[in-house]
Structure 1
Amino acid sequence: MRQILFSAMIALAVSITLTPLLIKLFTRRKVGQEIRADGPASHQAKRGTPTMGGIAILVGMWAGYLGAHLIGIRHDAEGISVSGLLVLGLATALGVVGFLDDFIKIRKQRNLGLTATGKYVGQLAAAVVFGILALRYPASGLTPGSRHMSYVRDVETISFGVVGFLLVVSFLVVAWSNAVNITDGLDGLAAGSMSFALGAYVIITFWQYTNACATTPGAGCYNVRDPLDLALVCAAGTGACVGFLWWNAAPAKIFMGDTGSLALGGLLAGLSITTRTELLTAVVGALFFAEILSVLLQIVVFRTTRNRLFKMAPFHHHFELSKWAETTVIIRFWLLAGIASAVGLMLFYGEYLAAIG
């Protein structure tokens, strides 16, 4: 438990300290966000706000994770694991894809960075490498990833081959990274919402650690490799998001950009796979799921009826155009993210009670 607290505290301290330095650096170099012309008119005032703040989130996550392990050495804590490195590696790889996207936007001074094909290639490459490595490095009969579909634990009746597993991983990585990316459209919305989701995963992974089949065999135990180390990853992610949110809250002094949003989406996807909670993540991250679903519904409805389901998608802009204040939309969406995380935790614990009952 001490390691988890250290991980969160170090990540928060690094993120909240590094972010203002990035603000000064990017302001001096005029590294500013371009705003889409068809967005809400109120957003045009944000043009030129420093972006690529996701760098602080990534640095904070790695600092929290590695720092907690350095401190833990003195207390005979568990060492760095393959699972933790894989999840952080996936987040970092997607952060690099997002950085390239942000850099092109800034360099060409437009709201379009990488082409859709270029972005998908980067996301899929990261997903495939992660998927291949996740099926390697067995310990006590467990690999970081599983070929079974999972809800709160593996569903033994639904199994994939290697190719099927890689397809599922690719879908999850692309879906979650784009979902968080789409949600990152209002000041602090993605960072605040992700803090709730990752906070829920701190509890989930720590519970899996205290009830692991390897150490506490019995009804309801969990076959997850390295759950404690994954808890450190979750805590570091939570702390880094909160530290960044201090500067990203409305009115934002910096945006995370695709550097941050793609990385955080990859983090959520990686956690869903390594914790065997792929379907549960749709509940814990229901806000992100709803945001990307609103875009898909808008496209389908418009192409079939030539009418728009929402005034603008993703649907947080719909409420802005319905005369809700931006801060009102943000706070209410945070509340929805918190409720979704709480419901996810209740479902997780409910399944445990059913398993031991």
Structure 2
Amino acid sequence: MKDILVAAAIALAVSILLTPYLIKVFSRQGFGQEIREEAPEGHKSKRGTPTMGGVAILLAMWAGYAATHLTVSKQGPTASGLLVLMLTTALGLVGFLDDFIKIRKQRNLGLNKTAKLVGQFAAAVIFAILVIRFPDERDLTPASTHLSFVRDIAVISFGTVGFIVFCYLAVSAWSNAVNFTDGMDGLAAGSSAMVLAGYVLVAFWQYRYDCGVPGQFGPGCYNVRDPLDLAVVAAAAMAGCIGFLWWNAAPAKIFMGDTGSLALGGLVAGLSMTTRTEMLMIVLGGLFVVEALSVVLQIAVFRTTRRRLFRMAPFHHHFELAGWAETTIIIRFWLMAGICVLFGLGLFYSEWADAAGILNGN
């Protein structure tokens, strides 16, 4: 438990203190956000706000993780923790390039679709190949080739090649979903912090009921390679988001940009695979799912009927054009994100209680 608290405290301090420094540096360098022409009118005033603030979240996450292992942790960095951090950082670099090109060319188009897909593909494939290696003494690898809900579903196996394809689809889907959500001040940062808080609890619970620890409760235990280290990663990233949110809350003094949104999407994808909760993530990250679906549905309906399903996609812009105040939308979407996380944690606990025989009175 001390590991998690130290990681969160260090990451929070780094994020909340580093972000204003980045605001000054990026403002001096002219690293301002470009706004697309079709954006709601209220967003035009945000043009020029410093972007690429996701750098603060990434540095805070690494600082919290490293400080924990240098001070209080009784174990060194693990394969699971490092691989998730590396996937997150790789996608952050793709986002950084995207943001940097937007700034240099002074337009709201950075990397073209092919370049961005290649970056996501490379990061996901390397992660997929490595994450099913490095078995521990129990022969557990950081992830498995089985599909999972709260734990592996034994009858559904992808095989190595199938898992690589699945990993790419998951990483691409989640990174883009968080990217779509990042359209209002603090919306993505606050929602991501809630999802990551959920993963702190999930991973710590898995550590508490690890099948490999002698004397632990048997029937409901988990076969996850490094649950405590994954809880440390999630805690550091959560605190990094909260510290960044201090400066990103409306009216935002800095945006996370694709640097942050693609990285956070990759992070939750990596956590879902290493904690064996890939399908549960759909519930925990329900807000991200809704935002991504709104874009998909908008495109599908428009191409087939030449009419728009929503006033504008992603979904939060629909309510903005309907006259809702931005802060009202953000708070209500935060509530939606929180409800999804609580419902996901409820499913997680009820599955454990059922597996442990508690619900049956055993």
TM-score range, shorter chain: over 0.9
Q: Could you say which residue in structure 2 is the equivalent of 1:127?
A: 124
Provide the rounded CA distance (Å) in 2 between the counterparts of 1:109 and 1:27.
14
SS at match of 1:350: helix
CA distance in 2, matches of 1:167, 1:28: 42
Partner of 2:141: 143
Instruction: Map 1:311-326; keep pairs closer than 5 Å.
Output: 311-326=311-326
**What displacement does 1:18 show?**
0.5
Alignment partners' CA distance in 2, 1:217 and 1:350: 16
Letter in 1 for 2:72: G
Q: Determine if the alignment matches structure 1 residue 264 to structure 2 residue 289.
A: no
Q: Is the 8 A contact 1:72 1:78 kept in 2?
A: no
Q: Is the 8 A contact 1:284 1:340 kept in 2?
A: yes
Q: Does 1:81 align with 2:78?
A: yes
Are the equivalent residues in 2 in contact too, given 1:294–1:313 (CA < 8 A)?
yes
Name the counterpart of 2:204. Answer: 206
For residues 177 and 287 of structure 2, the distance between their equivalents in structure 1, rounded to whole angstroms, comes to 9
TM-score, structure 1 length as denominator?
0.98
Equivalent in the alignment of 2:173: 175
Displacement, 1:71? 1.4
Matched, 1:27 2:24: no
Q: Which amino acid aligns with 1:193?
A: S
Cα distance in 2, alignment partners of residues 298 and 148 from structure 1: 33
2: CA distance, partners of 1:183 / 1:110 = 20
2:7 paired residue number: 7
Alignment correspondent of 2:187: 189
* Structure 2 unmatched runs, 5+: 358-362
Aligned to 1:101: 98
Deviation at 1:217, TM superposition (A): 5.9
Q: CA deviation at 1:307?
A: 1.1
Q: Which residue of 1 aligns with 2:53?
A: 53
AA in 1 matched with 2:341: S
Q: Which residue of 2 aligns with 1:116?
A: 113
Report the alpha carbon displacement of residue 78 of structure 1 after superposing the two structures with TM.
2.2
Please tell me whether the aligned partners of residues 135 and 144 of structure 1 are also in contact (alpha carbons under 8 angstroms): yes
- Residue 142 of structure 1: CA displacement? 0.3
How far 1:305 sits from its partner (Å)?
Answer: 1.3
Q: Which amino acid aligns with 1:121?
A: V
Give the number of equivalent residue pairs.
Answer: 354
1:305-326 Cα deviation digits (max 9, x unpaired): 1111100000100000000000
Q: Secondary structure at the match of 1:149?
A: strand
1:222 and 1:23 map into 2 onto residues whose CA distance is: 43
Deviations 1:214-242 (Å, cap 9, x if unpaired)?
11361011000000000000000100000
SS at match of 1:32: coil
Question: Over the residues paired in the alignment, what is the CA RMSD in angstroms?
Answer: 0.7
Decide whether the 8 Å contact of 1:152 with 1:351 is kept in 2: yes
Match of 1:37 in 2: 37
Question: Deviation of residue 184 (structure 1)?
Answer: 0.3
